[in-house]
Amino acid sequence: MQQYSRMEILAIFLLVVIIVIILCIIYMFRNKIMRRRYKKIYKKSGGLYDDNAISALKIINKIDKPNLEDYFNAGTIIGFNIMQGDFTENTNAISDVIYNYGTALNRILQNERVENPHDIDRQFMLNRIEDFEARIIETNIDIPELNVIDITLHEAKDKVKTEDIAERKTESILNTKKDSANKFIDKSIKYTSDTQNVHDSLLCQDLRESLHSLMKTCDITKTLDETLNEIREFVTNKYSEKANGNKINKIFATLDTINENNYIGTLNTYEGEIIKVIWDRTNQIGNAANSDKMKEALIDSMVDCWENEILVCINGRCARYISSISTLDFDNSVGQVGTKETYRNEILEKTRQLLEEAIKEAKESANDDMKKIGLSYEDPKISINEKVEKEFKENLRKKIDSMVDKYKSKMAGPMGEENLERIRMETHVAIE
């Protein structure tokens, strides 16, 4: 029998201890490692229930202590990757979405925070859950559990609104009033990387409005085959196969999918019909000067439908088609689309601009007290008349309110009005 020296025994013992410690550390950080892994994988998904979405959901289901983000992401994958926002096809899966989103909402009410708010924050989650609820209501599916989600959603929205605004205001106290206002606006503006933004309720509304405008002038006599043949001919004549082989392959592959003429529930029409009306629009007299540019933009959008060599979902494809001709069409409103986040950012930036203009106007005022108000926004040492400052702020609020009111038609309905009033509150807090 082999004999071990004391040093060898000690070395073996230390090795065993080290291995146990490493295994304990791995176990302790297992959920964190898995969480980081599934997020990285999910970002590569094309918005479908593709291999990346499948892998991400499998990893989430293996996490033994799921957190707020895990429940939210699981609900999103089931609702918008598996079901692609079409809840008429698989009503059983709706229960899974409601469970995950409902748990996420309860976690928010229990004061759980996201690990990295620069990735996705609580407000983003609430917007996505609201989009899910709006889509269910649109489809007229009777889901009793939705009432519970609705109540919890409103409670969570009120909580997040109050907490987030107060926290941002506290974090934005700087040396001058102007710097503090700009800091608050900077912290309020978000640019979230979102592969599922095509399901945003405001973006879908914009797409429907643009499509409605396009259909008013469409030549309904032309068939889909005729349109697709014209597009193929334009591509063949426009691009050299040698220099643009990969691009042409993607265009023709997208056209093959368009030829299937799949139905898109969020727009209540077919993919082929959308291509027909856009292509027809490029040939209208009003667009004569931009006709080729519009055609190229539409074709480029077909190339953009490929992400990580995967064709994105029908919602993503149709959104790209319609928005491709924005700024080129004779009607400037066509193709102009935005999400809740982009409209909120837009309002906050306009608030910043109105504040700048108000300060400049005050500094140039013939009234000495008003001039001091303008100067005080950049120099805290200047003594001011508080009554005049109150008047300055009231006038500025009126201008901001007038600007915000212009978004009422865009954010119609109970949910839209509630969101708009939240943004209005943020603009008021910014200038206080």
Helices (H), ranges, 189-263: 201-216, 224-238, 245-258
Mark whether 23 and 146 lie in a shared domain: yes
Helix (H, G, I), strand (E, B) or coil at 306: strand
Mark whether 234 and 297 lie in a shared domain: yes
Domain count, the chain: 3
Mark whether 107 and 18 lie in a shared domain: yes
**Helix 314-323 with 291-304: angle, nearest 10 deg:** 160
Mark whether 411 and 276 lie in a shared domain: no
Residue 414, pLDDT > 70, answer: no
Residue that terminates a domain, selected from 257, 289, 323? 323
Contacts of 45 (CB under 8 A, 6+ apart): 52, 53, 56, 81, 195, 310
Tokens in use for 276?
């027909």
Say how far apart CA 141 and CA 317 lie, in whole Å.
26
Residue 427, pLDDT > 90, answer: yes
Most confident of 119-133, 342-356, 411-425: 342-356
Tell whether 181 is covered by a domain: no
What's the chain's average pLDDT? 87
Q: How far is CA 341 from CA 68, 203, 376, in A?
A: 21, 10, 32
- Residue 307 φ/ψ, nearest 5 degrees: -125, 125
Mark whether 263 and 222 lie in a shared domain: yes
pLDDT value for 140: 75
Of 259, 265, 270, the closest CA to residue 224 belongs to: 259
Beta bridge partners of 269: 264
Tell whether 241 is covered by a domain: yes
Residue 92, pLDDT > 80, answer: no
Of residues 340 and 2, the one with the higher pLDDT is 340
Of residues 82 and 347, the one with the higher pLDDT is 347
Residue 318, pLDDT > 80, answer: yes
Mark whether 148 and 230 lie in a shared domain: no
pLDDT value for 9: 73
**Residue percentage of the chain with pLDDT more than 90:** 50
Q: How large is the average pLDDT for residues 35-42?
A: 91
Of residues 29 and 131, the one with the higher pLDDT is 131
Helix (H, G, I), strand (E, B) or coil at 311: strand
pLDDT value for 313: 87
**pLDDT, tens digit (0-9, with 9 covering 90-100), for 207-218:** 999 999 888 888
Helices (H), ranges, 1-46: 6-28, 30-42
Mark whether 12 and 149 lie in a shared domain: yes
pLDDT value for 3: 66
Tokens in use for 266?
């969020």
Residue 26, pLDDT > 80, answer: no
pLDDT value for 159: 93
Are 408 and 397 within 8 A, CB to CB?
no
Range of the domain at 27: 6-171
Tokens in use for 432?
């206080």
**pLDDT, tens digit (0-9, with 9 covering 90-100), for 254-298:** 999 999 999 988 888 999 999 999 999 999 999 999 999 999 999
pLDDT value for 101: 94
Could you please report the per-residue DSSP string of 119-166? T--HHHHHHHHHHHHHHHHHTT---TTHHHHHHHHHHHHHHHHHHHHH
Tokens in use for 88?
């008429």
How much is the pTM? Answer: 0.81
Most confident of 199-203, 239-243, 266-270, 416-420: 266-270
Residue 198, pLDDT > 90, answer: no
Residue 378, pLDDT > 60, answer: yes
Q: How large is the average pLDDT for residues 180-192?
A: 91
Are 283 and 217 within 8 A, CB to CB?
no
Q: How large is the average pLDDT for residues 67-95?
A: 82
